[in-house]
Structure 1
Amino acid sequence: MPLGPLRPSPLVEQAAERIREHIAGGHWPVGSKLPGETTLAATLGVGRSTVREALRALAGAGLVQARQGAGVFVTATAPHEDWPTRLRTAELADLYEVRMLVEVQAARLAAERRTDADLTTLDAALDRRRAAADEDDAAFVDADIALHTAVTAAAHNPVLADLLAEFTPVLRQGLIDLIALLDLRAGDAAHGQARHAALVEAVRRRDPDAAERVSREELGGMLEHLRAG
């Protein structure tokens, strides 16, 4: 496919897409140098500023890299997925493994660092989870996630809290679907309430070993369901 002139708008997006197509098609293989801005601009029928913006977008996607004094080189034939996209397309079991890495450590830290205000929040979240046993799966999962979020917040590590917040929205729908698919609440509407209460109690007692153990057991049980499915 020849490059050829472009339609009037949106020029930057069109230029980036046309160059991307040529990279993906092998016209410019990985490691090769792209034509200069002036050449690309003339071939595409746009200004150099449009080409410059298009190349910047392609660099952001991981397809090209500018090397000072040398030019722009192809570094990949397919764009890198951004983090939100990667999370949306991840397997639920993979997300849950990461959740365990975050929350097990968070539970341990929460037991070491919790404040009286944290305990008030945890007790309220535990009560809300218990009450949600009488509600639908979505409300129950929301209450469950709120409790786990409160435990992570009690660790007083904003990076851990941010990590959990990143994949919680994707995890939420997966858990709702899993509960319905496996009918996990059929015999116990408050699925795992005793273990969650034990987790809160371990945090209250400032017992990091117990908090870590309970968290690992609770999350590990759900991960087994995911792997079995």
Structure 2
Amino acid sequence: MSLGALRPTPLVEQATDRLREQITDGDWTVGTKLPGENSLAQILGVGRSTVREALRALAGAGLVQARQGAGVFVIATKPKENWSTRLRQAAVTDVYEVRMLIEVEAAQMAAQRRTGEDLSCLEAALKRRREAAGGTTAVFVDADIALHATVVAAAHNPVLTALFTEFVPVLRQGLIDLVELLDLRAGDPNHGDDGHAVLVNAIAEGDAETAGRTLREELKQTLDQLHTI
């Protein structure tokens, strides 16, 4: 494949795709030094700033590396997997173990940092979880995850919130499978309500120790069940 001038827009994305193709198609092998920014800009018909952004994107994908005073070199022919892809491919039990680390700490922080608005949101989320007990498994699991997300949000740490959000798709399907395979709601449609009520109350009272312990026990029980399916 040969390089050629690009269409007017979107230039950075096009430049990145074109350069990536040169690498993934084998035209530029590992160890190859890329043409300089001026040369690439001329070949692609774009400005140096566009080339620079494209190279930065390729570096972020783990395909190239800039070496000071030497240039930019190909270091891999396949992009590294991003975080979301790794989570989707991971075993749900592995994801759940990390979830425990994040959520237990978040619950303890929430007990120390929650605001009046957070408490209102927690009470509302607990109520919605109870109301969802009469719905399908998917509806109930969504309400359960929403309550946990509200706990994490009450910790007021955007990094924790972002991490939990990344976990949700994997957690959701794993929990749906768990509830249905083990028929956990057969005798108790509102499975786990007591523990969640204790958790919300502990956060409301500012009891970080009880909040963390309660959530750890609940998540550990679920993890143990996940290992059986």
Q: Which ranges in structure 1 are unaligned for 5 or more consecutive residues?
A: none
Change (3 A) 1:107 1:56: closer
Percent of residue pairs bearing the same amino acid type: 54
Q: TM-score, normalised by structure 2?
A: 0.80
- 1:115-139 deviations in Å (ceiling 9; x for gaps): 3332222122111111111100111
User: Residue 52 of structure 1: CA displacement?
Assistant: 4.7
2:23 corresponds in structure 1 to 19
Mapped partners of 1:60, 1:115: distance in 2: 38
1:34 corresponds in structure 2 to 33
User: Residue 205 of structure 1: CA displacement?
Assistant: 2.3
Change (3 A) 1:33 1:61: same
| Displaced runs of 4 or more, over 6 A | 6-11
Amino acid of the structure 2 residue aligned with 1:34: K
Mapped partners of 2:156, 2:74: distance in 1: 43
SS of 1:72's equivalent?
strand
Q: Please list, as runs of the form range in 1=range in 2, the aligned pairs for 1:38-77 lying within 5 A after superposition.
A: 47=44, 52=51, 55-77=55-77
Amino acid of the structure 2 residue aligned with 1:83: W
Q: TM-score, normalised by structure 1?
A: 0.80
User: Residue 73 of structure 1: CA displacement?
Assistant: 2.0
Report if the CA contact (8 A) 1:113-1:156 is conserved. yes
- 1:115-169 deviations in Å (ceiling 9; x for gaps): 3332222122111111111100111011111111121222222222222122223
CA RMSD of aligned residues (A): 2.9
Report if the CA contact (8 A) 2:114-2:203 is conserved. yes
Mapped partners of 1:202, 1:35: distance in 2: 58
Mapped partners of 1:130, 1:196: distance in 2: 10
User: Residue 215 of structure 1: CA displacement?
Assistant: 0.4
Mapped partners of 1:201, 1:56: distance in 2: 48
SS of 2:227's equivalent?
helix
Amino acid of the structure 2 residue aligned with 1:18: Q
SS of 1:228's equivalent?
coil
Q: Please list, as runs of the form range in 1=range in 2, the aligned pairs for 1:100-139 lying within 5 A after superposition.
A: 100-139=100-139
Aligned residue pairs total: 217
Mapped partners of 1:158, 1:37: distance in 2: 39
Q: Please list, as runs of the form range in 1=range in 2, the aligned pairs for 1:1-229 lying within 5 A after superposition.
A: 5=2, 12=15, 13-22=17-26, 28-29=29-30, 32-34=31-33, 36-37=35-36, 47=44, 52=51, 55-229=55-229
Mapped partners of 2:139, 2:212: distance in 1: 26
Amino acid of the structure 2 residue aligned with 1:158: P
